[in-house]
Amino acid sequence: MADREAARPLRADARRNRERILAAAVRMFTEDGLDVPFENIARAAGVGSATLYRNFPTREALIEAAYRNEVARLCEAATDLLATHPPYEALRAWTRRFMDYASAKHGMADALRAMAAEGGDPYGHSRDMIEASIAELMGACTKAGVIRTDIPTSDIFAALAGIALTSARPEQRAQAERLLDLTLDGLRRTA
pTM beyond cutoff 0.75: yes
- Ranges under pLDDT 70 in the chain: 1-10, 191
Q: Residue 147: phi, psi to the nearest 5?
A: -130, 165
Neighbours of 174 (CB within 10 A): 9
**Cβ–Cβ under 8 Å, residues 101 and 134:** no
- 188: which strand partners? 147
Distance CA 109, CA 37 (A): 18
Domains and CATH numbers, the chain: 1-57 (1.10.10.60), 63-191 (1.10.357.10)
Distance CA 176, CA 168 (A): 7
Q: Can you give the pLDDT at residue 118?
A: 77
Distance CA 30, CA 33 (A): 6
Distance CA 162, CA 167 (A): 8
